[in-house]
Amino acid sequence: MMIRSFIALEIPEDALSRIKEIIRSKIGELHNVKWESREKLHLTLKFLGDTKKEFIDTYISGIEGIIKKYNSLDLSFNRFGVFKKGNEPKIFWVGMNENRKLGEMVSEIETTFSEFGFKKESRKFQPHLTLLRFRGYEDSKKILSLTEVNLPLIKFTTDKITFYESELLPSASVYRSIKSFYLKI
């Protein structure tokens, strides 16, 4: 049996609250905007996609082998941005400053999971949180104005990695934690 899965870094509530406060202070409350739910505000380290359920324990062991080498991470959000398809905005995100240890961890996850038969990501890792997926009815001009905001550095420490199952439903995707792991403090 197959499931869709991914590995993500959890973001502390206080950092997410600061981002929400900045957005609200700059553009106010917007109607007809469906921001990503709290459960979806994480940093994806590796999207695995279709995963054989019978190998979950092997994947958990692989993650544990990587995680035990790392201490908690001191990270920071530094800018808002947009991914586009052609000229159309598709995803509004908040980006992070590069962090060498996070980059090393992601590289090690890529290597380990390529040994399990998963395809290595060809794009350079660009740490970001997806805040909004444009549906076409939002006030995109107002949202895009946030990319001009000089975002103050939002620093945070995180120590939690989660291996998730993602179920695609007609209304949206639903995430379920398979297992959480903790970096050394």
pLDDT tens-digit series, residues 88-121: 999 999 999 999 999 999 999 999 999 999 999 9
Identity of the residue numbered 26: K
- Residues 160, 181 contacting (CB under 8 angstroms): yes
pLDDT at residue number 171:
79
CA distance 91 to 61: 33
pLDDT digits (tens, 9 = 90+) for 59-72: 999 999 999 999 99
What lies within 8 Å, CB to CB, of 94 at 6+ separation is 19, 77, 79, 80, 81, 128, 129, 131, 151
pTM of the model: 0.93
DSSP for residue 32: T
Is 51:164 a contact under the CB 8 Å cutoff? no
Name which of 169, 184, 177 is nearest 69 in CA terms: 184
The pLDDT value recorded for residue 149 is 93
Express each pLDDT in 1-49 by its tens digit.
Answer: 999 999 999 999 999 999 999 999 999 888 788 899 999 999 999 999 9
> Domains along the chain?
2-182 (3.90.1140.10)
Mean model confidence pLDDT for the chain = 94
